[in-house]
Chain A
Amino acid sequence: MDSARIKQAFRKAFPLVSGVFSASVVLLAGISALYGELIYPEIVFRLFLVFVMLYFLTVIRMYVAGTRWACNKPYILVNIMFAPLYFLLAVLGLFTGNAYLGTSDLLIYTLMFIISFTIAQLVVYVYKKANTDKMNDALNEFQKEHQEDGYEEENFDRA
């Protein structure tokens, strides 16, 4: 475990998760104003707890995304791996004890989410990959033209 990378993950995850938390509170307030229903403190507290858990999950995701293994794989792999966890955590955290949401419903919603999320990620990835393929071609041309100041491997030991 790289402590510097863990610290960095904690630091980077905080503004992201707190931003989404603030946005969700505003959204909740908007919905409440629109339908004229009161927001119970219990709901806000539950939302807060869910976001605390989401924060730790985001830290883990950021740490995993920074590993050499993940860096050598398409970035969507980590997203696809973590998306079901985010979804389950959010749904279980917010709807546990909700009589309207049964276990079978939860399974169906989770499956639907995973499938649609994976497809969306793949479509975006394929589009982006086509762009970077063009960039790789341009890079190859560039490197052929600049061979004289090309990169040389260094063979001596680490200083």
Chain B
Amino acid sequence: MRLFLKEIKDLKETEVEIRYSVRDEEVESLISAVNSAHDKLICIKDNGDSVPVSFTKILYFEAVDRGVFAYTSASVYKIRNTLYELEEMCRSKSFVRISKSTIVSLNAVRKISPGEGRKLRLLLANGETVIVSRGFVGDLKKSIGMKGDA
């Protein structure tokens, strides 16, 4: 791996470009290192502007109709990453996948209550409720330090 550093005085924001032929483990660790360096995610507002949003402000991510969205208490942003990529990026940030389409911040959960069947309901800090699918109940339990068997 070769590292190039270039100083450009009139650049408004630091840019990182990773060139690779195969997106292997080394590339993935570089991506996660860059992401964790600023601890913010590049989100797209309704008007198309890109804004960095701190992970600590995000309640949950949801995949809806081929798009992925980040929900904060005040805003909804579109995200360029896939849910799978977000899951990898958020692994060390107290986020957990709770269904095929949702990743939630455990720090934004105010209450866990029983749901239909073997599902669970999570009441979030903004008053919204999200559903934990039964296949992900074990993961949620593990991530809060309980035994994972649902």
Contact = CB atoms under 8 A, between A and B. Distances in A.
A153 interface: yes
* B-side interface mostly: mixed
Interface residues on B, range: 35 or more
Interface stretch (A17-25, A52-60, A132-140): A132-140
Interface residues on A, range: 20 to 34
Given A131-B114, A156-B74, A159-B76, A150 B144 contact: no
Contacts, number: 93
A75 B114 CA distance: 7
A115 interface: no
Contact of A74 (B45, B106, B114): B114
B59 interface: yes
Interface stretch (B7-15, B17-25, B26-34, B115-123): B115-123
Contacts of B35: none
Interface of A: 65, 68, 71-72, 74-75, 125, 128-129, 131-132, 134-136, 138-139, 141-143, 146, 149-159
